[in-house]
Structure 1
Amino acid sequence: MGTGTMAGVYLPGDSTAVLRELPIPEPGPGQVLVEVGASGICGSDIGYIYHEHKGHRGVDGPAYRGVVAGHEPSGRIVATGPGCRRFGDGDRVIVYHIAGCERCDNCRRGYPISCSAPEREAYGWQRDGGHAGHVLVDEASCVPLPDSLSYVDGALIACGFGTAYEGLRRIGVNGDGDLLVVGLGPVGLAAGMIGRGMGARRIVGVETSPVRREWADGLGVFDATTAPAASAEQTAAAVSELLGAPGAATTIDCSGSRAGRSTAIAGAAEWGRVSLVGEGGTLETEVSDALLHKQLTLYASWVTSLTAMTELAVHLDRWGLRPERVVSDRFGLEQADEAYRLAAGQSRGKVVLVPGS
């Protein structure tokens, strides 16, 4: 490889996506070149980069450096650099979207997302990402993609499904109890699907958008969905009625909103476990009745680990679940501007770019 050009999508920060030509890179030591099969559009990119929010101004974390966008790629390795030992040409992979230092405790635990070294870089933020024909990645960033899963499946595992899985693992979702999912965007849909695979007895979703509720209902993953009521307590009462039980043993907030987090707490049963994975916003709660007297445990998690992402891909294969079911819209790279407008607006489910489509 290393010769020729390819198209790549950039986010200038003015609510547009721009297509530019750039050279196809050549892998160096410990690097692989991945021919991108699919690349998801993530809500964090929309909120922090697409609309010239904090990512462009360098507030609350490393700034976007004007690179090819997209941190949710999967594809096929077409070239390897010197020193690569685990993956080779032709291997199908998911790309974990953070390249860490590989030396700190977090990296050694498999969590480069929490690497604090100066050289930590995110694909699509500080180094070229997956919204292109090819993406150059560290071999250490690769996760095997089972043959039964598509590249679109892999792109969804790369971020949203991985994030949902980590949150559900922390609260120990299983067949002994019910699951409440608050916020039915792509991560919430992933939580419902994975919760089904993990054996949750019943799964109820809460979502403000009727369009997203209708899409979620059509997936056949949730036993019921409902719109939020006037208060978190009223919503929790509606959830309890749907479950036929005084709250859910496990709840997860994927909305990233104060109201959503309050609903996840109010909707938990006594001795329940609450997972917070939605980015942004604030958490505000009464303590005694809402937390202490119900004996709740709150967990917070940020994305997932390389090990858990590998595990999730194997589980999805074993469960016979296909993440691409939550995809409502697919676009080619040349339609990236249209795709981002939809993802930033009222998309029903996940929006994905598929190079060459």
Structure 2
Amino acid sequence: MRGVYLPGNSTTVLRDDIPVPTPGVGQVLLAVGASTICGSDVRAIYREHLGSGPEGYNDVIAGHEPAGTVVAVGPGCRRLSVGDRVAVYHITGCGQCAECRRGYFISCTSPLRSAYGWQRDGGHGDYLLAEEVTCVTLPDALSFVDGACIACGFSTAYEALTRLHISGEDSVLVTGLGPVGLAAGLLARKLGGRPVLGTDPSPERSQLALDLGAVDEVVSPEDLAGSRAGSVTAAVDCSGSGAGRRTALLALARWGRMAFVGEGGRMDFDVSHEVIHRQITLIGSWVSSVGRMAELMDRLVVWDLHPEVVVSHRFDLADSATAYQLVDQGRSGKVALVPGHHA
């Protein structure tokens, strides 16, 4: 089988001599249908290997946003069968700690914790060995590319919006209109938010957000800090930049709520004047739970919303170098690796 590795230095390596794994106890083997590229992969692995621990890259097949079909089942599996279609929650935890029991494998602090595409082989291959407990059944109405988008980006956005309790009473700002920002805008509208505003320094991404209906209006940071300051009740920062976060904070009305989703960077603010005296609620939201991911799939079917609408490019594994270069430019929508795809 083939698999894509990320050695650093903004390069990819495609190997075609990898043995197809055999599922062990509680594991299933998936034929990968799609594996999308996350900005975190670019930030912390593709350009250079920055992290350790949960963000350490262990020279494994990359990709933590996979979906596919079960082709083999190991001993002890009780839920999945050959032929089932699934998306994969991209962390496996110890299964015993309080966070794992709540389904938040992302927050497991055990040495047993491992992330697909970071510490264990991920989805940028023809096959993927997955723990049954991390697999969420993919409804027939959703495609493999839909499922890959849900595996991280859409679930991350949905978690933040549910923690903000977005409803029809809210006006919403999304700072950073990359794939997660697009997801946040689309989902905020389905939850009743109106209007949904967006801001991003990339004109291509801003236009894509408008074309997809992810936002009602794209607003400049200058307007959000000036005439539009205090104009929204909730904000989701997907930019991961101090400037984007500050824009979101200034745009909030009194008693506003803000979720930090974008990774990296720093932020400084006057705590008393800008947060305490304005009664602002700040929330850090890291990915999602496996239960919330399953809940989102059910809602997407009801809403007739297909996450793959944010995918602007699809490539075969053989074209992974082009795919990662495109994501690194920061101007496209979501990019998917689809084994066997022909441009």
> Normalising TM by the smaller chain, what interval?
over 0.9
The correspondence for 1:235, drawn from 219, 224, 231, is 224
Residue 35 of structure 1: SS of its match in structure 2? strand
Unaligned 5+ segments in structure 2 are: none
- From the superposition, tell whether residues 149 and 239 of structure 1 become closer, same or farther in structure 2 (CA, over 3 Å): farther
Q: Could you tell me how far apart the structure 2 residues matched to 1:51 and 1:45 are?
A: 9
The counterpart of 2:93, out of the listed 100, 104, 108, is 100
| Aligned position for 2:326 | 342
For residue 46 of structure 2, the aligned residue among 47, 50, 54 is 50
Counterpart mapping for 1:177-256 below 5 A: 177-229=170-222, 234-239=223-228, 246-256=230-240
Q: Cα RMSD over matched residues?
A: 1.2
The answer for the alignment partner of 2:34 in structure 1 is 38
Distance 2:280 2:225 in 1: 15
Under a length normalisation based on structure 1, what TM-score does the superposition of the two structures give?
A: 0.93
After the TM superposition, which residues 41-120 of structure 1 pair with which residues of structure 2 at under 5 Å, given as runs? 41-55=37-51, 58=52, 61-120=54-113
Residues 176-199 of structure 1, C-alpha deviation per residue, up to 9 Å, x if partnerless? 111110000111000001101111
Query: Amino acid of the residue matched to residue 202 of structure 2?
Result: S
Alignment match, 1:26: 22
When the two structures are superposed, what TM-score results if normalisation uses the length of structure 2?
A: 0.96
**1:312 match:** 296
1:75 Cα deviation from its structure 2 partner: 0.8
The residue that corresponds to 1:281 in the other structure is: 265
- Equivalent position amino acid for 2:43 in 1: G
Give the AA of the match of 2:31.
E
Aligned to 2:252: 268
Tell me the alpha carbon deviations over residues 300-320 of structure 1, each in whole angstroms, 9 at most, x when there is no partner. Answer: 111000000000111111111
| CA deviation string 1:60-88 (max 9, x = no partner) | 64521110000000011111001101111
CA–CA separation in structure 1 for the residues paired with 2:55 and 2:258 = 29
Name the aligned partner's letter for residue 70 of structure 1: G
Cα drift, residue 214 of structure 1: 1.2
Tell whether the 8 Å contact from 2:142 to 2:306 is kept in structure 1 after alignment.
Answer: yes
In 2, are the aligned partners of 1:328 and 1:347 still within 8 Å (CA)? Answer: no
| Paired residue type of 1:313 | M
Judge conservation of contact 1:26–1:136 (CA < 8 Å) in 2. Answer: yes
4+ aligned runs moved over 6 Å, structure 1: none
Paired with 1:194 and 1:239, the residues of 2 have a C-alpha distance of: 23
| In structure 2, C-alpha distance between the alignment counterparts of 1:183 and 1:40, rounded to whole Å | 19
Q: Deviations over 1:287-311 (max 9, x none)?
A: 2231122211111111000000000
Is the 8 Å Cα contact of residues 182 and 252 (structure 1) preserved in structure 2? yes
Structure 2 CA distance for aligned equivalents of residues 53 and 247 of structure 1: 40
Q: Which residue of 2 aligns with 1:243?
A: none
Alignment partner, residue 163 of structure 2? 170
The Cα of 1:235 is off from its aligned counterpart by: 2.3
Give the letter for the 1:306 counterpart: V
Query: Residues 40 and 353 of structure 1 are in contact (CA less than 8 Å); yes or no, is this contact kept in structure 2?
Result: yes
CA deviation after TM superposition for structure 1 residue 130, in Å? 0.1
What runs of 5+ residues in structure 1 fail to find an aligned partner? 1-5, 241-245
SS in 2 for 1:309: helix
Is the contact between residue 39 and residue 155 of structure 1 (CA under 8 Å) also seen in structure 2? yes
Distance 1:11 1:324 in 2: 24
Aligned-partner residue type, residue 312 of structure 1:
L
Identity in percent: 54
Task: Tell me how far apart the structure 2 counterparts of residues 269 and 51 of structure 1 sit (CA, whole Å).
Answer: 38
Q: Tell me the secondary structure at the aligned position of residue 180 of structure 2.
A: helix
- For 1:43, give the aligned amino acid: G
Q: Which residue of 2 aligns with 1:129?
A: 122
| 1:1-25 alpha-carbon deviations (Å, 9 max, x no partner) | xxxxx11000111211111020111
Give the distance between the partners of 1:153 and 1:89, measured in 2 at CA.
20
Question: Could you tell me whether the CA contact under 8 Å between 2:49 and 2:57 is conserved in 1?
Answer: no
